[in-house]
Amino acid sequence: MKAFIKLLSILIFFFTITISAQKTTWLDADLKETNKAKSYYYKVVPTDGNEVKYYYKSGNVFRKIGYSKGRYDGVFSEFYESGELRTSGTYVDGLEEGVWKTYYKNGKNKEKGKYTKGEKVGVWKTFYKNF
């Protein structure tokens, strides 16, 4: 019984550390900081993790972005509130890089193009919803 209580205490301790090792920020529809009552989204930035997550106020995931050394770095994914993928791309050292795609709610391509060091380059293709 003592071993069980000791184990339970250790688990609770580490769970508490994990929860406190993140910062939650409330955001309005333009992703600007606001209070909880006026928020549309919220953002969770782990102090020791490698991914920033944005959520709809409902709790569904809005965005997931790779995060390293205080800036975006890695895969970017944005979702409709119903869970379908809306946008995919990559950040490198805080800037958009490579091919980025947006999708209609039905999963079909909406737009596709390329970024180099945060700037749109080349031809960007837009697809009509009915194709």
**pTM of full prediction above 0.85:** no
Cα torsion at 21, 24, 30, 33 (round to 10°)?
A: -110
Q: How far is CA 16 from CA 13, 41, 44, 103, in A?
A: 5, 24, 16, 38
Cβ proximity of 21 and 47 under 8 Å: yes
24-126 CATH fold: 2.20.110
CA 17 from centroid of its chain's CA atoms: 22
Q: Residue 82: helix, strand or coil by DSSP?
A: coil
Q: What is the pLDDT along the chain (131 residues), one digit of tens a residue?
A: 666 555 545 545 444 444 446 789 999 889 999 998 889 899 998 777 789 999 999 999 999 999 988 889 999 999 999 999 999 999 999 999 999 999 999 999 999 999 999 999 999 999 998 75
